[in-house]
Amino acid sequence: MQVARSGREHLESLRDGRDVFINGARVADVTSHKAFRNSVASAARLYDFQAEPARIEAMTFASPESGRRVSRGWQLPASYDELVERRRALEAWAGLHFGFMGRSPDHVASCISGMYMGLELFEAYDRKRAAAVHDYYRFARDNDLFLTYVIINPQADRSKAAHAQADPFLAAGVVDEDAAGLTIRGAKMLGTSGIMANEVFVTCIQPLSPGDEKQAVSFAIPMNAKGLRVLSRKSYEEHATSRFDNPLSSQFDENDAVLYFDDVKVPWERVFVNQSIEMTLKQFHGTPAHVYQNYQCQIRLLVKMRFLAGIAHTIAEANGIIGFPQVRDTLGQIAAEVGLVDGLMHGMEAKGRQAGAYFVPDRHLLYSAQSLTQQLYPKVITAIRDLAGGGVIMVPSSIADFDDPGLAAIIDKTQKSPVFSPQERVKFFKLAWDALGSEFASRHLQYEMFYAGASFVTRGHAYRTFDWATCKDMVDSLMGSYPTPAAPKTK
């Protein structure tokens, strides 16, 4: 069985002349740059993991076109059983990074696969654009590409529409259109994993207003497209002094970057929607795309929640507080919250529906999960920090302190725990801080609160997709079972 992409091939594919910038300089090679190399290697590891002979069946499926094995993120489940089979593969991938790589390749693969499942919507809109979606899904799947997406316009003045900003091309939009395709100018807010992805899917999920037609596009281009500039945020990996000191940020800092389109040419065969406000929105909500992409997020989040529960329990053991009823109460609450995420994920699957040839997770339970988990994550982090006290701060400055015999002796005397050696205690609390309080952890808090949209957006989806009629019928039926006093007679 041959896989479409190995880790080595993925690394090789990133040496493509892309324009990535950090700390005022252009990055020659993201696979070797100190700001990115370990995270890029973690992404490559995903491809190697799925190719392991013992795992290849569970983690991949054979492309119906090429016959080569590709990630199950591209799979189009036809039944509940296939959905669960696909989820197990996604869960195993998330286990490799403990849920800390939000935009692993299965995320946007899930979105594009969902768009493909709703191809008839594109056919009703424009047959050529539908052909572009059709061909792109197959191309990306058969090469097992790592895709990122940028679907949010940059913050500036949120009270004004995209076209009404001081610069009408602040948000990426069409500046020109010719026989070859579109020319795009402007920015998109953030592309997570962009530095290590092969291609980027560009569109807008925010509601657009009349006049925003130029921003109402949808297309995919390679990350090395001419004119595409990738402006990285600060790298936490670069500032991680060692694996011991920052076990998570040193390996799983997936990166976020502003993408600027400096008159980038997009050929027609890569354009999925051209200047249609209605279709730009429908591509997500009129197809299973939005459900599939965010269902993947909940699978990943569940893995991360289990990991955080493990951190919480270990803190309680490390400090000898595990026997206190109040501490058990906190741990019980965390356990219940992990159970909530677990239950919602299984619920989405169990309540899924057959949509034509495909099986799609339940939309309302997905939006319930999104809305509740973006509130839950900060709560769980705060609860674990409450258990930790100052232990996450009472740690040596870096692993280098162990090299000094005098300091090592003091560390040995002062880092005490009923379950850990002094050295293990330091190791564990360094990990706990990287998960709970480091700059990397803080970015994760912001990620979990916002990756699916601000809370008014996710609650809006929960409101829109809920079965209000059944609930109101119950109220009406009870009220209908007893008389209403007559209104007073008017004179």
List interacting residues with ligand FAD (CB under 6 A).
Answer: 103, 148-152, 155, 158, 189-192, 256, 443, 446-447, 450-451, 453-454, 456
Least distance to ligand FAD, CB of residue 408, Å: 38
Least distance to ligand FAD, CB of residue 372, Å: 16
Least distance to ligand FAD, CB of residue 46, Å: 17
Choice between 130 and 445, CB closer to ligand FAD: 445
- 18 burial (CB, 10 Å; 0-12 / 13-18 / 19+) is buried
Choice between 158 and 351, CB closer to ligand FAD: 158
Choice between 209 and 417, CB closer to ligand FAD: 209
| Residues 386/107, Cβ–Cβ less than 8 Å | no
The span from the CA of 135 to the CA of 272, in Å, is 11
Question: 422-436 and 289-318 are packed helices; what angle lies between their axes, rounded to 10 degrees?
Answer: 150
Neighbours of 339 (CB within 10 A): 12
The span from the CA of 1 to the CA of 51, in Å, is 9
| Residues 327/316, Cβ–Cβ less than 8 Å | yes
Choice between 375 and 446, CB closer to ligand FAD: 446
Neighbours of 443 (CB within 10 A): 17
Choice between 138 and 229, CB closer to ligand FAD: 229
The span from the CA of 274 to the CA of 310, in Å, is 47
Least distance to ligand FAD, CB of residue 151, Å: 4
Collapsing DSSP to helix, strand or coil, 257 comes out as strand
Measuring CA to CA, which residue among 409, 403, 402 is closest to residue 427? 402
DSSP 173: E
Choice between 69 and 444, CB closer to ligand FAD: 444
Least distance to ligand FAD, CB of residue 457, Å: 7
Least distance to ligand FAD, CB of residue 330, Å: 27
Least distance to ligand FAD, CB of residue 193, Å: 7
Least distance to ligand FAD, CB of residue 314, Å: 26
CA atoms within 13 A on the CB side of 163: 14
Measuring CA to CA, which residue among 229, 373, 355 is closest to residue 299? 373
Least distance to ligand FAD, CB of residue 346, Å: 26
DSSP per-residue codes, 28-74: S-TTT-TTTHHHHHHHHHHHHHHHSTTTHHHHEEE-TTT--EEEGGG
Least distance to ligand FAD, CB of residue 260, Å: 14
Least distance to ligand FAD, CB of residue 446, Å: 4
List C-alpha distances in Å: 106 to 42, 123, 148, 298. Answer: 14, 25, 10, 12
Choice between 215 and 415, CB closer to ligand FAD: 215
Choice between 456 and 482, CB closer to ligand FAD: 456
Choice between 214 and 444, CB closer to ligand FAD: 444
Choice between 251 and 293, CB closer to ligand FAD: 293
List C-alpha distances in Å: 71 to 14, 109, 142, 466. Answer: 19, 9, 9, 33
Choice between 111 and 316, CB closer to ligand FAD: 111
Collapsing DSSP to helix, strand or coil, 187 comes out as strand
Measuring CA to CA, which residue among 99, 182, 117, 110 is closest to residue 147? 110
Choice between 201 and 429, CB closer to ligand FAD: 201
Structure tokens at 413: 């005397």
Measuring CA to CA, which residue among 54, 74, 454, 138 is closest to residue 296? 74
The span from the CA of 100 to the CA of 332, in Å, is 23
Measuring CA to CA, which residue among 106, 205, 146, 260 is closest to residue 454? 205
Least distance to ligand FAD, CB of residue 203, Å: 9
DSSP 153: P
